[in-house]
């Protein structure tokens, strides 16, 4: 492989540490596509003969058919997918295969192949996120008026609707989709033709190869093109943020599925049992989504640390760029499928949710707001009065709206019977009708907008 420069081959240790074929064989489709684009350009430019270009392209098709049928062989002496493909091509068509490597290097090959793979991973992530959005919007539509406690510090805060809660995750997923879209846009230039680091003296047409591979154009600097892995980091950053959102939703489902909460029953198909306790139904899929978020974040950290001190242009450290991206992409795909299934199949126990909202003094803010609006009391004073009312309700073991008017007027005589209209959980959520609020009318408007954006209307 190394021609006349080396007197002897690599040691067993060097062979093992140097080989990347066990993981970069995943790039075989991209490697074949980029090679075909390259040889078509070489033929069009007269750098290789038209006959040789046609023979090489046909040979590449045969190699691709073998890979498709039997997988990519792992010969560590050939190191990587690029040499594996070129070697097999030579076995099929002879020495003419050697012309394929004219005006290119493995440096711009791998930069192109990997960029093509990551670009497709962005598209796949977007599609999976779109499916999760559909699930969230659908379930939110079923529960636009279903009342549950809203939390801060995991303490009951104010009543909200389950539909509003689910739509909060819709918004997170929308931002995730925008990050993958942004990443996809930034990786739209083609490195092929940058060669090892300095370009080439052959009269290549980089616009032609870029267009053939569906890039918007060629990269503008050959040094940057072969050493850039920003596109991989962009993907991992988007994947990590997405995984954090999935982990937050997973955590809520885990808590809600516990007996003390009892807000949800997760589908049997995404739950497990216990080897010793027959009553158990464990939210293992949700727990694994939560756990996998850490692994995905670790993949991002791994590549950042690999890239942080590399001088221009290519260094062999960059061979370690692919395993974390491949791992993160696989985990993210699995997590999105699992979370979509959980959202679609969850049974929400809305009666239990409403009961929890009533028991947690969630309408305390509504009492304070009523004092401001109806009794013209400054909010800070109203806050203090309401705190006394909550304390009394706790002492009596009743909800706020179960305090008698006499109880309330002993706290502050300006309170009258009209207050009870504001203290129900239904009145509380209905009152939050500001744009983006939890009032059912607002939730339904946001759901309608989301359905339109998703092409469901």
Catalytic positions are 153, 274
Could you give the CA distance from residue 124 to residue 328 in angstroms, rounded to a whole number?
13
What are the backbone dihedrals phi and psi of residue 423, each rounded to the nearest 5 degrees, phi first?
-95, -5
Q: Mapping DSSP to helix (H, G, I), strand (E, B) and coil, where does residue 157 land?
A: strand
Sequential DSSP letters for 211-251: HHTT-SEE-S-HHHHHH--HHHHHHHHHHHHHHHHHHHHHH
Could you give the CA distance from residue 440 to residue 144 in angstroms, rounded to a whole number?
5
Nearest alpha carbon to residue 321 among 241, 231, 238: 231
Sequence-ordered list of residues with C-beta below 8 angstroms from that of 35, at least 6 positions apart, any chain: 60, 85, 100, 109
Could you give the CA distance from residue 64 to residue 312 in angstroms, rounded to a whole number?
33
- Give 190's strand partners: 218
Angstrom distances, CA of residue 294 to CA of 2, 301, 341, 448: 41, 10, 21, 34
- Give 160's strand partners: 148
What are the backbone dihedrals phi and psi of residue 55, each rounded to the nearest 5 degrees, phi first?
-65, -40
Q: Mapping DSSP to helix (H, G, I), strand (E, B) and coil, where does residue 358 land?
A: helix
Nearest alpha carbon to residue 37 among 207, 247, 283, 279: 207
Could you give the CA distance from residue 3 to residue 9 in angstroms, rounded to a whole number?
11
Q: Mapping DSSP to helix (H, G, I), strand (E, B) and coil, where does residue 305 land?
A: helix
Nearest alpha carbon to residue 342 among 166, 197, 81, 121: 166
């Amino acid at each position: 492989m190394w021609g006349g420069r080396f007197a002897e081959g690599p040691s067993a240790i060097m062979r093992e540490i140097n080989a990347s074929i066990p993981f970069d064989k995943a790039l075989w489709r991209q490697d074949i596509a980029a090679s075909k684009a390259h040889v078509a350009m070489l033929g069009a430019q007269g750098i290789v003969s038209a006959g040789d270009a046609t023979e090489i392209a046909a040979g590449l098709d045969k190699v691709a058919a073998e890979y498709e049928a039997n997988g990519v062989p792992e010969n560590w002496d050939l190191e990587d997918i690029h040499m594996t493909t070129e070697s097999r091509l030579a076995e099929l068509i002879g020495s003419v295969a050697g012309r394929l490597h004219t005006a290119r290097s493995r440096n711009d090959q791998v930069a192109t192949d990997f960029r093509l793979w990551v670009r497709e991973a962005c598209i796949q992530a977007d599609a999976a996120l779109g499916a999760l959005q559909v699930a969230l919007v659908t379930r939110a539509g079923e529960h636009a008026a279903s009342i549950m406690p809203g939390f801060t510090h995991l303490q009951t805060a104010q009543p909200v609707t389950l539909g509003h809660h689910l739509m909060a995750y819709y918004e997170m997923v929308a931002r995730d989709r925008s990050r993958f879209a942004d990443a996809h846009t930034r990786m739209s230039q083609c490195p092929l033709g940058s060669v090892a680091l300095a370009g080439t003296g052959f009269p290549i047409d980089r616009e032609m190869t870029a267009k053939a591979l569906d890039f918007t154009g060629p990269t503008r600097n050959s040094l940057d093109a072969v050493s850039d892995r920003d596109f991989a980091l962009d993907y991992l950053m988007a994947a990590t943020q997405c995984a954090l959102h999935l982990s937050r939703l997973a955590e809520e489902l885990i808590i809600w599925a516990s007996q003390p909460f009892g807000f949800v029953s997760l589908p049997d198909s995404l739950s497990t049992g216990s080897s010793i306790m027959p009553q158990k139904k464990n939210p293992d899929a949700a727990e694994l989504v939560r756990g996998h978020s850490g692994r995905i974040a670790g993949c991002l950290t791994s590549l950042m640390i690999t890239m942080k001190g590399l001088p221009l242009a290519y260094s062999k450290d960059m061979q370690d760029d692919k395993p974390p991206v491949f791992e993160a992409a696989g985990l993210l795909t699995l997590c999105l499928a699992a979370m979509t299934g959980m959202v679609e199949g969850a049974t929400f126990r809305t009666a239990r949710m409403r009961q929890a909202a009533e028991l947690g003094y969630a309408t305390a803010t509504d009492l304070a707001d009523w004092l401001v609006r109806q009794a013209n009391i400054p909010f800070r004073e109203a806050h203090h009065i309401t705190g006394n009312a909550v304390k009394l309700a706790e002492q009596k073991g009743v909800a706020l709206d179960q305090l008698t008017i006499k109880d309330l007027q002993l706290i502050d005589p300006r309170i009258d019977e009209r207050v009870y209209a504001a203290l129900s959980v239904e009145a509380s959520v209905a009152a939050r009708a500001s744009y983006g609020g939890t009032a059912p009318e607002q939730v339904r408007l946001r759901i309608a907008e989301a359905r339109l954006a998703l092409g469901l209307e």
